[in-house]
Each structure stands twice: as structure tokens, then as C-alpha cells.
Amino acid sequence: MQTIDNFNFKNKKAIVRVDFNVPLDKSTFEVTDDTRIRGALPTINKILKDGGSAILMSHLGRPGGVAQEKYSLKHVIPALKKLTGTSIKFADDCIGESARELSSSLKPGELLLLENLRFYVEEEGKPNLPENITEEDKKAAREAVKKSQKEFTAKLASYADCYVNDAFGTAHRAHASTALIADLFSDENKMFGYLILAELNAMDKVLHSSQKPFTAIMGGAKVSDKIMVIENLLPRIDNLIIGGGMAYTFVKAQGGKIGNSLCEEDKLDLALSILQKAVENNVKVILPVDAVNADKFEANARTSHSKIGETPDGWLGLDIGEESVRLFSDIIKNSKTILWNGPMGVFEMPEFSAGTSAIARAIADATAGGAFSLVGGGDSVAAVNKNKLADEVSYVSTGGGAMLEYIEGKELPGIKAIRM
């Protein structure tokens, strides 16, 4: 497998799949969080420093195959220019005449940004299907897009001598720019960028860690989203801390009273089977022991405190309580490998954010004590950032969905396309 470190980009044009799917201000279209752009800088800088040029391609939002001003990647140009210190050429159609001309005249040291790939349905390979057409017509439309997707991919590939995938956030998608394009480059001319390498390194470090105890902390709303992750982790971990809304499905399955707390009624048996598998794998499962309850799902709700399994009728648990924080924190601080995905409560509302903040703090403390900690998933990352702890954990993943699928043990199309 080719590596970016070994590759000399001198006089080469590299087409780089980056993840510039950044949040924009609704009225000024300014980039409000440039984390993802900064994530691509090591790769961009290596290409330019070697004396090569880079053609950057990405999606932004979900334009559904239709060109729309609010999803234009031109909005990221000022931030990209500032961060790279280089002027940016822009092709206003990713496979149009401008893209062909600008890429063909691109000189060493120059950067070209292509317009949003998802202005074409070919990027994702899925047609927009009207509801009132026959199954046969749907099938024909899908086949037509698959065919035109090949041409779309070939056009993108024709702009460059080599392909770099550095978009971890979309590595779990088999799209034109994330996976299919790799087939059009020889093994020596395709590679991962530094961001994907760092993500893979962090995840592999956690999955294959010999640094014990290994504690996984799972939270968020739904058990169903995390089942596969939990099942793949059970043979590897020592402790499984379960917080957030998903904890209540486990509490109810064990006969606890949960009031109106979040619960997936159809997952009660599954919760019991996870607990059983944990026993078989010698994994200690730690559920909250107390909770902060609310009389309605609102920031200004009346609040009360109860033991877990004793939520009063009509109330719902929206955060873990102080005793749970102490219990979870002790385990976290004694861990040497930590994986965190999902908040401990409705952390978006200040009244119910204390549990999540305390867990972020405990992970930072464990990291200071020598543990390796990986935090992933939009909400846990937001919680770490909100508490200004991003620099105090070992690695913050840029791809929630991709990270979960990798940890589930799935082969990600964007990874498989390069790592053979």
C-alpha cells in the first residue's frame, strides 16, 4: 500500500477527497467551525511542500443532486485561504469545463477547489425518485445513475495523477469520490491522507489495546444505534458504562420503574441479552444509580432527584445524578484505555448537562494520568469542545458514523478502496 509519507508529490497533481462539510452561518455563509478544514491541512501542506498541486473535492450538506447557492463550497474559500496562506482557484462545477481547464493549467504549489460534489446525484449514486413511478421505472432510474456515475468518477479522476482520501467522515460511504475513484488509480498512486491515518491509528489503538482496564462509555438516546458497537466491544473491554437515555431500556428490562423516561420497548429482551453476553465475556456493566428527573422534556422543567429504577410516575430522567457521576468517574480514572460515545444526559439543556461535563472531565483526568482516550460521535465531541477539553483527551474523532461502523467491525468502503 502506498503511503503519503513515502510519496513525492513533486510536479504531480493530486485529487484529494477532503471533508469540508462545515457549518455555515445562515445569513453570512461564513464558516462557523473550521475544525474539518484544519483537519485537512497536514495533507494539503505535504502536497504543496513537495512541489505538487492539489485539487480538493468535498460535499457540503445535503443538496440532493441539485446545485444550490447555500450549499456552495465557494463559502469555504475565505477560511481555506486564511488557513493555508495560499490563494484558492475555484471550479464552479465539479465536472464542468471550468474544472477541466483549471485542473489542466494548475501549477506546482497551487490549490484548486471543486464545487460541491453532491450537486450531482452521481456522487452518491442514488437518483431522486418521484413517488408515483413504477418499480420498473425506479429500477431503470437507479441503473441509469450507476452508469452516469462511472462517467462522473472518470472525469474527476482525469484531473489528477494521484488520489488521496482524507475524508474520514464519509469513509463509510461507497460514493464516487470516497471509494469508486480509487479503482481508477494504480496502487502506487492512491493513498490515505494524514487525517484518515490518524483516525485509523486511534481506533486501532483502542480496538487492539493491551492497556487494561479498557472502559467503554456509551450514552445518547438509542440502544438500537449502539448494539453492534457494544457487541463487537464486549470481547475486548473490561468495563461498559451505560448512561444517557439508552440506560433506561436496561433499567426497565431489569424491572426498574422509569416513569416517562426514554425507552425502546422492543429492545428490552435485547438489553437483557447484552447484559448476559457481558457476564459471559467477564465485562462489568455499570448503569447509573441515580438520576436528575424532569416533569417535562424542557429546559425550564421542574427537576427532582431519584434513585435509578424509582423515577416517579409522569417524570423522566434527563441526566445521571451525582452518585452516578462519582461511580462512573472512579472507574474512568482507573482505566488505561477509554472509548466514549454518546452523552450522559440531555446535555444541550444546561440543567441536564452536568453529568456529561463531569464524565468529559474524568476522561481528561484519566488521560493526564496516562490513559489513552478516544472520543467520537457528534454529541460527545460537542460536549468535549463545550468543556474546552479537546486538547486533554488523546484523540477526538472527526467522523461519528464512520467511527461507529469501524468499531462495529465493518469494512468501510473508503478504507477498503485503498487498504488492500
Active site residues: 36, 222, 378, 401
User: In angstroms, what is the minimal distance from the CB of 401 to ligand AMP?
Assistant: 10
Of the pair 167, 403, the CB lying nearest ligand AMP is at 403
User: In angstroms, what is the minimal distance from the CB of 127 to ligand AMP?
Assistant: 29
User: In angstroms, what is the minimal distance from the CB of 231 to ligand AMP?
Assistant: 16
Of the pair 34, 379, the CB lying nearest ligand AMP is at 379
Find the residue with minimal CB distance to ligand AMP. Answer: 220
Of the pair 225, 392, the CB lying nearest ligand AMP is at 225
- State the cell numbers at 152: 462522473
User: In angstroms, what is the minimal distance from the CB of 247 to ligand AMP?
Assistant: 7
Of the pair 205, 222, the CB lying nearest ligand AMP is at 222
Of the pair 193, 342, the CB lying nearest ligand AMP is at 342
Residue ranges in contact with ligand AMP by CB under 6 A: 220-222, 225, 244-245, 262, 317-318, 342-343, 345-346, 348, 377, 379
User: In angstroms, what is the minimal distance from the CB of 403 to ligand AMP?
Assistant: 12
User: In angstroms, what is the minimal distance from the CB of 244 to ligand AMP?
Assistant: 4
Of the pair 165, 324, the CB lying nearest ligand AMP is at 324
- Spell out the residues 6+ positions from residue 188 whose beta carbon is closer than 8 angstroms to its own: 2
3-state secondary structure the chain: CCCCCCCCCCCCEEEEECCCCCCECCCCCCECCCHHHHHHHHHHHHHHHHCCEEEEECCCCCCCCCCCHHHCHHHHHHHHHHHHCCCEEEECCCCCHHHHHHHHCCCCCCEEEECCHHHCCCCCCCCCCCCCCCHHHHHHHHHHHHHHHHHHHHHHHHCCCEEEECCHHHCCCCCCCCCHHHHHCCHHHEEECHHHHHHHHHHHHHHCCCCCCEEEEECCCCCCCCHHHHHHHCCCCCEEEECCCCHHHHHHHCCCECCCCCCCHHHHHHHHHHHHHHHHCCCEEECCCEEEEECCCCCCCCEEEEECCECCCCCEEEEECHHHHHHHHHHHHCCCEEEEECCCCCCCCHHHCHHHHHHHHHHHHHHHCCCEEEECCHHHHHHHHHCCCHHHCCEECCCHHHHHHHHCCCCCHHHHCCCC
